[in-house]
Structure formats: C-alpha cells, structure tokens
Structure 1
Amino acid sequence: MSVQQKNAPTLRRHILPTELGPCMVRVQQGTHGPRAESGTPEVYLHGAAGSWTTFQSLLARATAHDRVLIDLPGWGESTAGARREQFSIEAMARAVVGALSALGYRRWKLVGHSMGGFLALHMAAAWPEETAGVAAISATTFSVSDACGAPLRGLYKFPAFTGMLLAMRSMAALGAAGTAVVRTIATTPLMRPLMSPFFADPAAIPPAVFRELGDDARPASFSAAARAAAHYDFGQWRGILCPVLAIRGDRDVFTPESDLARLAVVVPQTRLATFARCGHFAHIEQPDHVHRLIDELWSR
C-alpha cells in the first residue's frame, strides 16, 4: 500500500451560482497554460462524506490540462445557502455543468469517488458528447440506491452503508448540534476505529485524513443525497458513449463486486479494476495505482 497525503498545489478559487446554491470551485492550471488553450479538463467529484480535499493525493503530479475540483452544493465550502430540499442527481449534475460552463469549459473528463462516481456516470449519460471519459472510484450505485429506497431491508442486505445512513439521519435531525458532534468525534482517537471499515489498513492512514473526513461530514447533505439516489433510473446509463473505468477495493464495504458487474452490463465499454488490500478510498490508499489506470483511460 502507498498512502500519501500531500499539500495541494496552488489552486484558483471561484464562487459560482447554481440552482442548488453557491458553489466553491478550485482550478489547478495545466501546463498548457490558461484554460482557453488547455483543452479538456479533469473534473473531480467527491463523495457524500467528503469534499475536494479527499483528492489531494492525486494532485501532486503536473498535468497538461486543467484540473477542476468542486465542493458540491451542501459540502465543503459550498454549504452557505445550499438548497438541500431541491437535491436530486439531475440537479447536482446541472450544478456541475453550469459551473464548468461558467468557467469556459465545453468538454470534460470526470473523476468521481463514491457518490461522485454515481454523479459522474449520470453526467456521462446526460451529456454524452461533452463527456470524454469517466473514472469512477468506488462509485456507490445500485446497492446504495436500493438501500436508500428501503432502509429496513438494507440493514440486512447492506448493513455498512445503511448503518451509516441511519446514523447520519439521526445527526441531521439534531441540526448544527449533530454536525458538531461528528466534528468533535473526529478530533478524538475514536475516529480511527469508526472509520476503519473504509480502509484496508487503517493503521497506515495519516491522522489528518480522519480529521478531514470528520470536518467534511455534513449529515443533512448526506441524508439529502441518499434521498436523491433512491429509485434512480439506471437505464439512463445505456446512453453513455465514452470509455468508463470502474475501480473498487477488494475490501470495499460500500461498493460490492456485484455493482461493478452490473455496471458492465449496462455500460459495456466499462473497464473493471479491483485493487487488492484496498478499501473504499483507493485514491488515498493506492494513489499511484489509481493514477496509472486513469492515465491509461485518458489515452483511450
């Protein structure tokens, strides 16, 4: 395993309006220069328990084209004025596309983790000509959608996610106090055992990673995203035209192997990859391996 947690390079910050509220977007300029000349950017979409910071280990290497890192409405620095009652996969996708358009981008390559992988696949289906490729890292798709639609049944079939969903709903019901509880726990030794199911080797993960995951926890936004995922029509993904890379860890408790197999049926041009000794955060546990496969994907 190669766990890396590095400081991010210089990023330009933009606050852009969307239908779900103001959105904080960071841009790492590519070596080709200003975005007017930089071609198709890599767009990073985080999960429902994260923010742009979960991708820091992938940013150290220079890239020819721009990288765009988005705090989705309701997470990170995009919480003020977030309209959670209007959350849907479609609305979140429109928010991302609107932000990219405002920055002058007309085509993109998508890297999504967990919920961000779900969102990236929807964007590829809804904007097939504009999406050049999708790298989905532990995308939470079919099983998560089923559990969100029927939590009681999910406790039996998919206990790891459903348990977290119920905990987040409980914290969300407490409002700001619930968020404060989660963040307080993140500063204590209790955070590591609580998050251990997400990693193959929790002892190898730097403490800063657990603190950032706790800081990024947004119970109300997590719960709203879960409602958005329930009863999603996955038949839409048959319209995806671009190549897709779907990655999971062999110890991933949120993305079962059956989800990747089902994805390959719906989107035949999908390449599947399972990392040994890896959990739900492959880009944190094995960033070099992720880099290599993403580079191969873009070369296609």
Structure 2
Amino acid sequence: MTSCASDTYSPREVNSRLQELGFREHLAQTIYGTVAFFVRRQNDDEAGSLLLHGVASDATTWTPMLQCAAELGVDLGNLVLVDLPCFGKSENRLDTMWIPEVGDMLISEMTTLGFLRVRLIGHSMGGFLALDMAARFHEHATSVHVAAGSYFAILNTIKRPIRNIFRNPGTALLWNSYWLLCLMGRTGTMMVRTAAAVLGPRVVIAPFVAKPTKLRRQIAEVMLSQLNPRGVVLTARNGPAYDAVTTWGSIRVPLVAVFGQKDRMVTRWDAEELSQVNPSARIAWVDDAGHMLIVERPAAVLRALGL
C-alpha cells in the first residue's frame, strides 16, 4: 500500500453525507424501533463488512477511514454502517442496550440485507460489541477487527470503580469522570459544551486524542455534538455481569486488535490481557494516536486492522 496525504495526522473531516460516499439508507424496524443502516454494495456476494461505532459517535465516524481507503485504492468490498440503538438516527424504545440482544438484531438485519458472512469491524464500544458477536455467531462471523475495543480495564472500572484506580489509574480516572458526567444527563452535556465554548472544543476532547492541537476542529466539534449520556449509561449497564475472559477467549475466527500508542482509556494492559485470554489474537499499534485513532490516523488504522 502506497503512502499519500492520508498518512498525516487527522487528514480528513467527518462527512455526514454518507450518500456522497455511495451509501444508501436502510431504516429497519427492530425491537428498538427504527434503526438506521447505511449500505454500500460493490458486488452480489453474500459477504459484507459491518462497521460498529463507539460512544459519542455514530456511523459517520468511519468516514475519514473510508475516504482514506478510496484515496489509497483499497477495495473494502460490501460495507454496512449502522447507527446503533440510541445513537445517531436510531431509536431505542426499550431503554436497554444489552450486548447480546443488540448483536442478535444486527445479525438478523445483515441476513435480511443478504449478508450471510460478516466481517466485524468495531471501534471502542463497537469493538466490545464486535468481540461479543464474533464469540456468539460462529456461523456468520468470518473475522473480527477492533480498534481501541479490548475493554478489560473499563469493564474492571465499571465493576470496581474505586479498587481499579490502583490497577489502571488512567483508565479509572478518565472513565469515572466521563461516567459521572453522563449520569448527570443534560446537565453534564451542558457543562461539557459550556467548557467547549470557553476553552475550545479541542481542549475538551484532549484526553481522548494524541494531538489535540493538530486534530481538525470540525472533528472535535462533531465529537461534542454527538455526546450521548443516555447511550453511555445504557451500554455501561452491561459491565457488572459481563465475562470478557470466557467470552472473548472463545473466539475462533481471526482476531485483530489495534491500539493507539497514546490511548489513555484503552491501554497496553488491555492488549496484554487480550493476548492472554485469546493467544491467537494479532495485536498491532498505531503511533501518534489516542482513543479516537480511527479519525486521528485512519490510514494507519486501515493497515493495522488488516483491511
């Protein structure tokens, strides 16, 4: 793969107009209500990639990486993006986000769309979901590729918010602060946006990126506009009872996990834990990248994920 402008830090803005990238919108009626899928078919094959976004995101978060892939001449095949329930254009009438139920819904809709073999690609919370789906849907999942998505430290913090400060202090302090803001709902969102108006959006999102002053301002603004306290709270409810060791250790399809060298939320400890529970996992690192590595270094992530 050749080098190009895409290899610079934060090379592309987030594009909210997915139709410009060849996607058509598919509104599925699910147990959650209407869930928005975005489909780009390159061929009539039954294989497709499902891209799962993280919290404070929606399907459009993948667009810098998709634009870099096009610039680099990379054919990603059939693609499906989704706004997960409660995020973006999607509803969540159940007021729950149980990971197995979300996975069931996603696989059902992928089958409806004609994709019986699914390559799972996830970022952050979406990586958590992708790993769970890869463990449970052996007949459908062909491989799983996650960026900042091995969530051991975050899960430990959710289960033991005080005790985990001594094991993973950076993750615990950052997650607990984020969690408290989300518990405050609209008040927390107003506090964050007021801080952004006074200090600037890049200062507010600085803990989640490697080079806040070099991140495109538009990306920082998009991240803040997509703050979703309810979605974070519902997703975090999976944490106390979730057995990551057993579940992710049972994955038998090819597994690639990519981490940002400067990620303060999902760290080297998470990579080591994943290697222990699933020794077949391939671990890769991206320089000059934090937790939002898919918008910071999209071309490098594309390579590291093996896409």
For normalisation by structure 1, the TM-score amounts to 0.87
Runs ≥4 residues deviating over 6 A: none
Aligned to 2:261: 250
Does 2:32 align with 1:17?
A: no
Does 2:70 align with 1:63?
A: no
Q: Contact 2:175–2:265 (CA<8 Å) still a contact in 1?
A: no
Question: Separation in 2 of the partners of 1:139 and 1:72?
Answer: 16
Change (3 A) 1:156 1:18: farther
Change (3 A) 1:220 1:159: farther
Q: Contact 2:154–2:175 (CA<8 Å) still a contact in 1?
A: no
Which one of 292, 296, 306 corresponds to residue 285 of structure 1? 296
Superposed CA deviations along residues 193-238 of structure 1, whole A, max 9, x for unmatched, are 2211211111111011111111111111101211212331120223
SS at match of 2:122: strand
**What's the offset of the Cα at 1:275?**
1.6
Pairing of 1:75-114 with structure 2 (within 5 A): 75-78=87-90, 80-84=91-95, 86-114=96-124
Gapped regions of structure 2 (runs ≥ 5): 1-7
Change (3 A) 1:271 1:101: same
Gapped regions of structure 1 (runs ≥ 5): none
**What's the offset of the Cα at 1:170?**
4.1
Q: Contact 2:9–2:215 (CA<8 Å) still a contact in 1?
A: no
Change (3 A) 1:229 1:158: same
Q: Contact 1:185–1:214 (CA<8 Å) still a contact in 2?
A: no
Question: Separation in 1 of the partners of 2:32 and 2:171?
Answer: 25
Q: Contact 2:182–2:189 (CA<8 Å) still a contact in 1?
A: yes
Aligned to 2:226: 216
**What's the offset of the Cα at 1:48?**
1.8
Does 2:268 align with 1:261?
A: no
**What's the offset of the Cα at 1:57?**
0.9
Superposed CA deviations along residues 276-300 of structure 1, whole A, max 9, x for unmatched, are 2221122212211122233xx35xx
Change (3 A) 1:2 1:192: closer
Question: Separation in 1 of the partners of 2:195 and 2:109?
Answer: 33
Which one of 43, 46, 55 corresponds to residue 50 of structure 2? 43
Change (3 A) 1:272 1:75: same
Change (3 A) 1:21 1:183: farther
For normalisation by structure 2, the TM-score amounts to 0.85
Letter matched to residue 38 of structure 1: D
Identity fraction in percent: 27
SS at match of 1:42: strand
Change (3 A) 1:288 1:64: closer
SS at match of 1:59: helix
Question: Separation in 2 of the partners of 1:3 and 1:220?
Answer: 28
